[in-house]
Amino acid sequence: MENDQRRDDGLAGSILDPRLIDPHQQLVTRTGLGDGDVDQIVRVLEALQGWREAEQRASEASRKYMQLNETDMKALRFLMAAQNQNLVATPGALAAHLEISTAATTKVLDRLAHAGHITRSPHPTDRRALAIAITPETYTLARETVGRQHVRRFDAAARLTPAERETVIRFLEDLGGKDPEPPPA
């Protein structure tokens, strides 16, 4: 957004622009960056914010539509992945994936079973364990909602060149605090 444009809230420019939120460079040093560079960086930050907001809206809509919380949705994605790989999902594997206690896992599974999203049955080879499976109806529903979001993300990444993907990976890992891996030689 150009600095001379007025927003609906009366501010000139983007609230992500360090020239507006940190004009004295107490936090953000702009040494060596021209206005064009800062404008482009602000556009990156605005695009990232727009993507996050769109993802949050889509995730919230999916959770509301399926009447699930975020942990429940993560559990269903795990169960879908296990099913797609012909693996038997167990409560223990789900607890490890979600990084929650077995008691919390039981509550998740109880909610999902009560809502008709999963079935529990005896494990085919371990009589001490249960096998957890997503119902066909929920599998289809989740695939149509969450799956379509993933397709958009995958397609956007696929349109990038390998070098562009490495740049995006490095950028996102840097934002996430993960030490970026060196690019392939």
Does the pTM surpass 0.85? The reply is no
- pLDDT of 11: 55
DSSP class per residue in 83-120: HHTTPPB-HHHHHHHHT--HHHHHHHHHHHHHTTSEEE
pLDDT in tens, the chain (185 residues): 444 454 555 556 688 888 988 899 999 989 999 999 999 999 999 999 988 888 888 777 776 767 788 899 899 999 999 999 999 999 999 999 999 999 999 999 999 999 999 999 999 999 899 999 999 999 998 888 777 788 888 999 999 999 999 999 999 999 888 665 666 66
Helices (H), the chain: 18-21, 35-66, 70-84, 91-98, 102-114, 136-158, 162-176
In the structure encoding, which two tokens stand for residue 58, read together? 């889509």
Chain-centroid distance of CA 44 in Å reads 18
Q: Long-range contacts: 144-153, Cβ < 8 Å, 24+?
A: 145/61, 145/62, 145/65, 145/66, 146/62, 146/73, 146/77, 149/55, 149/58, 149/59, 149/62
**Total count of residues recorded for the chain:** 185
Cα 169-171-172 angle, rounded to 5 deg = 65
74 closest CA partner among 107, 108, 123, 106: 108
Question: Checking phi first, is residue 10 left (phi over 0); if not, alpha (psi -120 to 50) or beta?
Answer: left
